[in-house]
Structure 1
Amino acid sequence: MFILALVLGFISGSLPFSVWLGKLFLSQDIREIGDGNPGATNVFRTGNWKVGILALLLDYLKGVLPVAISYSVWGIQEGKLVAVMMAPLLGHQLSPFLGFRGGKGVATTFGVWTGVTMWEGPIVLGSLLTIFYFLFDHDAWSVIFGMIGLLLYWLLKGATAEIYGAALANLFFLLWTHRLALNGKIGLRFLRFRLKSR
């Protein structure tokens, strides 16, 4: 079942829903706008929020479903669970449908953690991302700090080794997918707002 779980997770993660929805409903290749990322963010950049929400939901579900099946139905745990959780993320980043290129994997990250922890992981990560997004003016670093925060949360809670290992692997994955955007300097949104208001 372990090999099947890996294959299922990778194939599920590799489905480029945002690109397909852009072509189907918007007659547009979303990789030609914004940062060129084949993810839901660029669907929202087209101005069609309905298709954007659908793309975001599908990118989320392609992380939830294979991991939930592997963990809750097939009972895959311990070290193998780390690989199972990473499979949809790697599929998203190395999609054979896009010439082994893909997106940054933020929505799929939320899905992966939902598949194992239900509400806990996504709520903690979402709360941290919201805080860092409003604190810093660099979106990529906000994602990284949010993931570091989730890693520390599991550490302080005394989570199992596989949960902590999956969070660490997820952090390195996000560092890789955001590597080009992490070159910018980090500024404080509220400080910049105060300076502009003077």
Structure 2
Amino acid sequence: MFKRIVFAALLVTSGSAMASKDLSNIPLVWSPTQSFAEFGAVDLNGIGKVKVQFNGFTDVRKNPALIAENHEKEPARQVTTKDNVAAYVTDHVKDTFSKAGINVVDSGGDVIVSGEIRDFFVNETDQYVGNVTVYVTMTNQAGKVLWQGVAGGGANNFGRSYKADNYYETLSNAVLKLSNSMLNSQGFRSAMLAP
């Protein structure tokens, strides 16, 4: 009987510890619940053969480790990452462009895309609300600026409170939306044809 009581107490203790697990220095995991196609078609007319090179985004946020906050209780619980947000966003935008039919190259691009990550964050109250914002610069091989502008992607998600998987899904969907926003920007598209 004593063993059962101790075991039950351990279960309760471990259950409450799991419920309030601290989400500090978590890895960034690519886990979209949406597909790129859900955001609508991308017209590749004229831009499908342009070689697009990404020089990598830089993270200019004040706190590069902070990626989310849960505001259901006070004080807010923070979510931080040990991973490189700039590399994460760059890699997944490149991959999404490539899967959309854009000719993404590692070097020798007709146009070179770089950018500053201004926002990469999820606010959680009764749902997960994520935003990714990048100030994008496109140049030709000679370094001439062809276009600069802000591109963003947002995503909403429901799920259990303060769960890493829900933050991953929200941020991943927001990066997909960011990629779609870039490819459907008239200025971005026109600049691809400028060199």
Which entry has the higher C-alpha Rg, 1 or 2?
2
TM-score in terms of structure 1 length: 0.26
Higher relative contact order structure (alpha carbons within 8 Å, sequence separation ≥ 6): 2
TM-score in terms of structure 2 length: 0.26
- Structure with greater helix share of residues: 1
- Structure with greater strand share of residues: 2
